[in-house]
Structure 1
């Protein structure tokens, strides 16, 4: 389906960049192009860290990076310009500021901003930051991927349970690390020099990673360490179970399709989990 040319330019740009408007070949092609550009841009960055590849194709990779940043910059500016079509961001100034502070818009900005830092900080001051922040461009693909959107929804819906679990884990970590500090500090004053130093042992033990760089040597310390390791298996399995159940619920929700309130027409999940979403996409679709 082609996009209706009678629409105002701002609406056409909005729908062109909207990943949900997949009925239009132009919108679908645009989103696939940006996705491919993101993947290639990150791939060239990773390949460039290999010495012989970087020496041979460094200039080509740099030119491609300039091209990619140019596309991402135009995309970001067009999104900011056209966001007022969405009723959530309808205010010309406040709406655009609100849109620019949304998670996806911040990711888009982080993906391109370091490229322009040399203008402000100079080449040497911005070079390292530029290299690191190029990896953030990979996060842009979440906007165009249903799989990553599913993951985002799972963590959003299970955020309260995960937050409680993280809080319990943090309390337990500080407790056992403090206990181990007092048990082992006399035998290993350099290793267990402070509670923050013991927290590293607690993280490695509770996660059952076991690097072996910090270990208890006293009988009481070893008994405590064994107990903490066994409890860590159960404690750190809780977030995995919560996320797994969230995936099952989200997949089941997608199979059943959206549930709508008979009174207001809003999606039931949206009314429960978050503020009402804009219907601009559906309204624009109905105009076709």
Structure 2
């Protein structure tokens, strides 16, 4: 089978490409099965099925490893305008490539470093990244990724504004409350925790103002928090509308059969 055909199969398949659709279904099924067993392994009853769980995990990890190798091998088709080595580098260090790599690599660590098997258990948490791989196989999920990419600058700006406001609020609240609650508002970082929980409308209640000035300032920050959360929400909402309009618009445009001009 030609290298280009392998690339077409491992990419998101068209409805007419049976082999590619079968490959997509196999990968999604493997990811889903692996995550279900990962969750089930946290239950005490899973001890009786430890052998089956390990076997399924090993089979899926081998499948992910083979897929990653094929993607590395065919990376020059993914980035046709670059050299082969550059294409491999771009894929390997892209978000998708890193997720693909981390979806199987931690499984092999205990084999190479048996003395650190216990310490490497913490790396098992990265298996949750396999969920992101499902995103590649569904266009409806890709819309979310496209919106985040298109609105990246606006989102970064809004997060920066929130961070500046949180910093200012933490310093002000520290000055209001430190004298009255030296054990609670011990430093500016204590105020930062309060500002984060208040501005993000969580309000855990583990740290709160007791002075009159602190309470009045807390009311102001709570009102501002509602607005701060609404900023990125509005940006994402507008992005979804724009993305859906862009996707649907080409299908709704009609052209004159004689002159080829767009019809209103």
Q: 1:39 maps to what in 2?
A: 32
TM-score (normalizing by structure 2): 0.90
Q: 1:80 maps to what in 2?
A: 72
Q: 2:97 maps to what in 1?
A: 105
- Contact 2:177 2:209 (8 Å CA) reproduced: yes
State the SS of the aligned residue for 2:104: helix
The unaligned stretches of length 5 or more in structure 2 are 252-264
1:64 equivalent to 2:64? Answer no
TM-score (normalizing by structure 1): 0.83
- In 2, the alpha carbon distance for the partners of 1:88 and 1:99 equals 12
Q: How many residues align?
A: 249
* Alignment deviations for residues 153-191 of structure 1 (CA, whole Å, 9 cap, x no partner): 000001111111001000000001110001000011111
1:257 equivalent to 2:250? Answer yes
Deviation at residue 109 of structure 1 after TM alignment = 0.4
Correspondence 1:46-61 to 2 at 5 A:
46-52=39-45, 54-61=46-53
State the SS of the aligned residue for 2:183: coil
1:133 equivalent to 2:91? Answer no
Q: 1:3 maps to what in 2?
A: none
Deviation at residue 60 of structure 1 after TM alignment = 1.1
State the SS of the aligned residue for 1:212: coil
The root-mean-square deviation of aligned C-alpha atoms, in Å, is 1.5
Deviation at residue 21 of structure 1 after TM alignment = 3.5
State the SS of the aligned residue for 2:201: coil
- Contact 1:142 1:148 (8 Å CA) reproduced: yes
Q: 1:204 maps to what in 2?
A: 197
The unaligned stretches of length 5 or more in structure 1 are 1-7, 259-288
Go from structure 1 to structure 2 and tell me whether the alpha carbon gap of 1:32 and 1:103 turns closer, same or farther (over 3 Å shift).
Answer: same
- In 2, the alpha carbon distance for the partners of 1:41 and 1:188 equals 49
Deviation at residue 29 of structure 1 after TM alignment = 1.1
Go from structure 1 to structure 2 and tell me whether the alpha carbon gap of 1:87 and 1:192 turns closer, same or farther (over 3 Å shift).
Answer: closer
Q: 2:254 maps to what in 1?
A: none
